[in-house]
Amino acid sequence: MLDLMLPRLSGFHVVRTMREEKLDTPVLILSARGEEADKVQGFRLGADNYAVKPIGVLELLARVEAMLKRSSRAAAVTEQRHAFGDIGVDAVTRSVERNGKPLDVSPKEFDLLLYLLRRKGAVVSRDELLREVWGYKRSVPTRTVDAHIALLRGKLEANPADPRFLLTVRKAGYRLDTAAGHRPDSS
């Protein structure tokens, strides 16, 4: 909720700045200014809703609830589609593309890729991958994670020997660098 009449700054300026900085936070302007021109300006700057004071508590709660529902649905759709470099991943259709062309990935390769994507660049250990992707209950000596990482690199990377996206973090595990330009210190 944002009031337009802030002590040092216009609420309109705050909304404009938020949207210029690509912040998707839902904004409800709550103001005593009820002129149509103010409402239109608020919406044009990126507000999601506009309520004029005084407003009943139940109406205000209903407006906030509606905004949060829309926001969470939008976030759910965003989490189902991922893109990095020239790679596109769709969790709903379980498909992967490179340069717009479909890649043939196995179901387990897809699960591995999606798990790494959802970890948002965090380092993930082999044990965690075995537990979360393969469903192992305890640590077992196997190279299946390494083998699947190598297969995915062969499909995702332009040069699998020098990967940009699917990185090994020595003595720690793997991470997916969707920014592809930042390299971990692997020494």
pLDDT along the chain (187 residues), means of 10: 89 90 85 93 91 92 84 59 88 90 92 90 92 84 91 94 94 89 40
Q: What CA–CA distance (Å, rounded) separates 106 from 109? A: 5
Give the model's pLDDT for residue 180: 67
Same domain, 150 and 119: yes
Same domain, 15 and 91: no
Q: What CA–CA distance (Å, rounded) separates 99 from 4? A: 45
Residue 31's domain spans which residues? 11-80
- pTM for the whole thing? 0.56
Same domain, 90 and 170: yes
Same domain, 40 and 108: no
Same domain, 165 and 95: yes
Give the model's pLDDT for residue 102: 94
CATH number of the domain enclosing 72: 3.40.50.2300
Strands 49-52 and 81-84: what pairing? unpaired
Same domain, 59 and 89: no
Same domain, 94 and 161: yes
Give the model's pLDDT for residue 74: 52
